[in-house]
Amino acid sequence: MDEQRHRSRVVTLTARQTNMVLELSILLALVSGLASWWLGDRWSGSAVLAHRVSGLVLLVVTPAKVRGSVATGMRRRRGTRWISLVFGGLVLVTIGLGMLHATGIWNGVGAWSALWTHQLFAFVLLVLLVWHVATRPVRPKAADLDRRLLLQTGVITALASGAFLAQEGATRLFGLDGRSRRFTGSHQVGSFDPANMPSTIWINDSAPEDTTAASWRFTIAGQPLSIDQLWSQSEPVVATIDCTGGWYSEQSWDCVALSALLPQVEGSSVRVESSTGYSRLFAHHEMDALYLAVGYGGEPLRSRHGAPVRLIAPGQRAPMWIKWVTSVAFDDRKPWEQSPLPLS
């Protein structure tokens, strides 16, 4: 019996250790989720995997949290206990929404889709996490970093990884839409069918009223260039736009490489700006892999897709695919001087 009790103590986390695992898992989920928006195709898959496993870690640890500090807090009848319950419930709902998107059970585009709601709740959770840590300051001790924590963290990670594999297996076994999603977690919509390709806009941008090619004012390195001139130089390039809203679409874009339009390099970077004021900086070495598109499949772009000219950035997430481009110019700032993700 004594030996059994000793083993129980070895494999059971203390309340402080449970809080440490939960808080670090929430933080990892938030950071990896944001990183998947910013990182290109090369690394975003790894960020999405870390995001999903860290979410499942939260599910594995939740029972221990409920048995421990949650039960204790309810017995003490703290005035803020209901906020804590909302916090915990919101964590579970947010994870559930992510799973619904990943499996394709609830797969939509735009506001109030599973992924959009998942992202919205995640930002609310960030505020609640700061409040929770600030109002319940439990400083970890050196003694918390013991063999028990190492062993139990390994077990928790193994269980979360097993749950991830089980979810993937069930998705394929039952033929759910999530079985064919991209490594970024996005679902295919409207590939090589521009009319059915979705349209989403970063944060609070809105489409300009007049997007006709004849009236559009576009400059490159300070020199005006007409949309007809871009059309005359355009060639088809197949590229995949992968939106942070959870969808991707592959199209044959009619476009011109920036390197062909900017043969001479000046400044520290290239700034591409939209009529809305939205802009991003790109390194000079990226110009061969950046394009200005005026159409897709031989037809002009639609207004909601960035007509009459938009940026095509293969391998980068959709926030970098600037719509309604009005100017391409050199800039003295380095690309790393801008925020990793646009803030407006």
H runs (alpha helix) in the chain: 2-11, 15-38, 41-65, 71-76, 81-103, 114-135, 147-173, 227-233, 258-261
Distance CA 80, CA 73 (A): 9
Show the tokens assigned to 145. Answer: 């970093």
Distance CA 127, CA 29 (A): 14
Please report, in tens digits, the pLDDT of each residue of the chain (344 residues total): 444 444 334 347 777 778 788 888 888 998 999 899 888 888 888 999 999 999 999 888 877 766 655 555 556 666 666 777 788 888 889 999 999 999 999 988 876 789 999 999 998 988 888 887 787 766 667 767 777 778 888 899 999 999 999 999 999 999 999 999 999 999 999 999 999 999 877 666 678 889 999 999 999 999 999 999 999 999 999 999 999 889 999 999 999 999 999 988 899 999 999 999 899 999 999 999 999 999 999 999 999 999 999 999 999 999 999 999 999 999 999 999 998 877 76
Show the tokens assigned to 143. Answer: 């003694």
* Residue 32 neighbours by CB under 8 Å, 6+ apart: 47, 48, 50, 51, 54
Residue type, 284: H
Write down all domains in the chain, each with its CATH number in brackets: 2-180 (no CATH), 189-337 (3.90.420.10)
The Cα angle at residue 44 between residues 38 and 46, in degrees rounded to 5: 140
- Residue at token pair 């048995």: 67
Distance CA 325, CA 278 (A): 9
Read off the pTM. 0.85
